[in-house]
Structure 1
Amino acid sequence: MKKSHASETQKNIVVLHLGPDMSAQGGIASVLSGYEANRAIFGSLGLDLRFAATCGLSGALNRLRQFSSAWWKVVSGSLLRKLDIVHIHTAPRGSLFRKWLLAMTCVGVRQRYVIHIHNSAVERYVEQLPAPCYKAVSLVWKHAAQIICLSSDMKTWFERRCNCDAGKLRIVHNGIVPPTLVYQASAPDNEPPVILFLGRLVEVKGVSVLLRAAEMLERRGLAFRLLFAGSGDLATFQTEVELRRLSHRVEYLGWVVGDEKARLLANADVFVLPSRSEGFPVAIVEAMAFGTSIVATNIPGIVDAVRHEHEALLVPPDDAEALCESLSALIISPGLRARLASAARQRFLDHFTIKQTSEQLADAYRKAIE
């Protein structure tokens, strides 16, 4: 006998994702956009994804309305039993306290929720909170059905510092769709290698360290093009570029998405991310997927993605000289670039596709509703 449509839909786990507006600039918005664009993959695993933005609009009143709308979707969906799980995406500072209110709302209406930590800076931020705030935030972890971490270091912190049950902790990496366009060849002999940075122009991303390293490369007489694509404190960035006399080497492209970002990654010879702190950077995964050689810092999150001298060259954060040495090695050696890029592409295919992410989330959701 043919099953009814209603019985089919009852099989699906209905999940409401709470995070920034997908049009916002940042890692969480990028992750949520990836989920939304690949609903079919999640649907094949019995997951019905819904989305509600908690921030991202300009203007205080608009942001309040946006948050209130998301809060009401949690309340109404929970009371009417239209939701199986609320999936809360969070980062440090204001994001964490907005999500605290949503998590406590879930507790109040007896709604199962999953908390997803997107930045390892949450650890330091939480530990520096006054005791009453620390206890309040701890309730988020206590009542969560599952806690999703982006790195092994973050999972260990929850186990040791927060005394969380290991059974509700799991690592889920940010995955993307394998691109059809992949980097194939090095820069022509008559053109300098292209080094690409994707991200916000802020200190935590190591922008100043990268510019110091670029100045060292210039002094060594090495030819290169350094492209910056992102947003942030553009005035400070441009001032430093001029002070270091790098205007002929550095090009600022603004915030890029879609086909433009794909073209940059496919044509770059080296991707560089000298961050001080990350969760599990989507940009690194994108560089791996496009088969681009990588230089990054050996910090939690990044070391879960790539291994030193296997898929990337990793250096200590805030070490401009070490960053210069690694970039120099890749500038002068097309063979090394090709070896690292090929290994990075294969590691991406083995571990970090959106299909693998969807399967890991499906396991977390099933565990949450047991």
Structure 2
Amino acid sequence: MLTKAFTSGNMTTLRNAATVRHYVPGGCENGGGIGRLVGYISGTARELGGKHLVTDTRGARWSVATSPLHLLGAVLMMVKDRIVAPARIHHIHVAGRGSTSRKLILTQAARFLGCFHVLHLHDYDYASDFAARSPRQQLLIRRMFQNADYVVVLGQRDHMTLTTLLGVDECRIVVAHNCVSDPGMRNVRVGEIPLIVFLGRLSERKGVKELLLALSDPIMKELRWRAVLAGDGPVEDYRRQAADMALSDLVEMPGWLDANAARALCARADILVLPSHAEGMAMAVIEGLAHGLAVVTTRVGAHDEAISDGETGIFVPVGDKDALAAALAKLVSDPDIRSHLSSKGRAHYLKHFSMNAYMRSLENLYEAVSAPRKKRVGAP
């Protein structure tokens, strides 16, 4: 949810607000969790009579050679918008590493053109990324965040990063917990083999190594279950690791799934696991709550702002394969605990992470962005 002074208003705001353009590395389909979130935003906006446009600033992760062309296209699109739609809000999504380099260029263009623009920070550890940069880069990054009309962050940790490291005025920072579209209540699975799902890039940062070790633990081998680890990355390497652990018949790795396929997978699952070493606020965790899955994750990033241990999910220590195996075994073997976490997690999602409330808050934020300068750009 968005917090600060942007939680009032009604849905008619969506229909009357100026069109918003989102700038996303990889767009909705190749932008990972950021793309998934923006896809939900743009889809919900269409349902409510609004319009959120999406511009890819990078291209697919594997197409490095074409990335500069996507960035140039994004800048040219911003120039065009400045001429034909001067009141448009430019919602720029940024993470660390190459994403920051691209957004330094894009936000400089926004400032030069006089565009309304919001920065939305998505990163698993932006403070460390910032600390590793040269003094000149740090100066440019501080200016980028300080000159945005507003900055949106995923949780309180990033809020502190902005105020202490980047010098952003607290009154221009908005905390926005990731939200997902409501998939509806899932059918209760009775008497079926429990299905464990993982959604995210297959990587060490996401804890896939510990997850495979946990699934191969003797306490798990004694139980009946199946698992699907869905995501991009070095899939073949992890398939070989699973085979070496005699997990090939139990663990499926289909690669990256689009939003519809991920939703279908969650609809037939029981447990969502994400043993990450670092996160901002993982979309997978919110997806798990929305689907009424028993969520097992780590206390990283803003996860403790979304999960209450033992009530709406289970926390395990980062990198602890034994604790992870014990938590999964407990859920696989006890349907009552799964049912408790399912109902509590689903209710928590409906109360705090619904897209309708998120969209109302976004539109109030956009009103706050454009209000001081409307007369200068001729907005209605």
Q: What SS is found at the alignment partner of 1:331?
A: helix
Matches within 5 A, 1:100-179: 100-179=104-183
Q: What SS is found at the alignment partner of 2:28? A: coil
- Are residue 361 (structure 1) and residue 362 (structure 2) matched? yes
Q: In the TM superposition, what are the counterparts of 1:106-255 in structure 2 within 5 Å? A: 106-186=110-190, 188=191, 191-218=192-219, 221-255=222-256
The 1-side partners of 2:314 and 2:63 are apart by 42
2:282 maps to amino acid: P
Q: What is the CA deviation profile of residues 116-150 of structure 1, one whole-angstrom value per residue up to 9, with x for unaligned ones? A: 01123222101211111111111111101111001
Deviation at 1:292, TM superposition (A): 0.8
Match of 1:263 in 2: 264
Pair 1:215–1:10, CA change in 2 (3 A): closer
1:19-40 CA-partner distances (Å, limit 9, x unpaired): 1322215111111211221223
Instruction: Give the aligned residue type for 1:331.
Output: V
What is the alpha-carbon distance in structure 2 between the residues aligned to residue 213 and residue 329 of structure 1? Answer: 12
Whose RCO is larger (CA < 8 A, sep 6+)?
2
Check 1:68–1:215 CA distance in 2 against 1; reply closer, same or farther (3 A cut). same
Cross-structure match for 2:76 = 72
Q: What RMSD, in angstroms, separates the aligned Cα atoms of the two structures?
A: 2.2
Give me the whole-angstrom Cα distance separating, in 2, the residues matched to 1:11 and 1:258. 28
Alignment of 1:321-336 (within 5 A): 321-336=322-337
2:283 alignment partner AA: V
Q: Is 1:31 paired with 2:32?
A: no
The amino acid across from 1:125 in the alignment is D
- TM-score normalised per structure 1: 0.90
Deviations 1:271-304 (A, max 9, x none): 1011112222221111111111111111122222
Contact map agreement 2:152 2:176 (CA 8 A) in 1: yes
Q: Which amino acid in the other structure matches residue 45 of structure 2?
A: R
Q: Is this contact kept in 1: 2:146–2:169, CA < 8 A?
A: no
Taking the aligned partners of 2:15 and 2:277, their CA distance within structure 1 comes to: 45
Is the alpha carbon distance of 1:217 and 1:137 closer, same or farther for their aligned partners in structure 2, counting shifts above 3 Å? Answer: farther
User: Aligned pair in 2 of structure 1 residues 326, 131: CA closer, same or farther (>3 Å)?
Assistant: same
Give the match's secondary structure for 2:308.
coil
Q: Is the 8 A contact 2:14 2:360 kept in 1?
A: no
Contact 1:15 1:83 in 2 (8 A): no
Count of aligned pairs between the two proteins: 357
- Give the Cα–Cα distance (whole angstroms) in 2 for the partners of residues 37 and 155 of structure 1: 27
Determine the C-alpha separation between the residues in 1 that align with 2:225 and 2:55: 43
- What's the offset of the Cα at 1:49? 2.2
- C-alpha offsets along residues 83-133 of structure 1, whole Å, 9 cap, x if unaligned? 332110011111111011011111112222100011232221012111111
Structure 2 residues without counterparts, runs of 5 or longer: 1-12, 373-380
With 70-79 and 343-352 compared, the bigger mean Cα shift is at 70-79
Please state if 1:52 is matched with 2:55: yes
| Mapped partners of 2:18, 2:219: distance in 1 | 55
Deviation for aligned residue 1:218:
4.9
2:330 counterpart SS class? helix
Secondary structure (helix, strand or coil) at the match of 1:204 reads coil
Paired-residue identity, % = 25
Q: 1:255 to 1:13 in 2, by over 3 A?
A: same
Structure 1 distance, partners of 2:73, 2:175, is 30
CA distance in 1, matches of 2:14, 2:197: 45
For 1:275-286, list aligned pairs within 5 A: 275-286=276-287
Structure 1 unaligned residues grouped into runs of 5+: 1-7
Contact 2:96 2:123 in 1 (8 A): yes
CA contact (8 A) 2:205 2:276 kept: yes
Shift of 1:160: 2.2
SS across alignment from 2:91: strand
TM-score by length of 2: 0.88
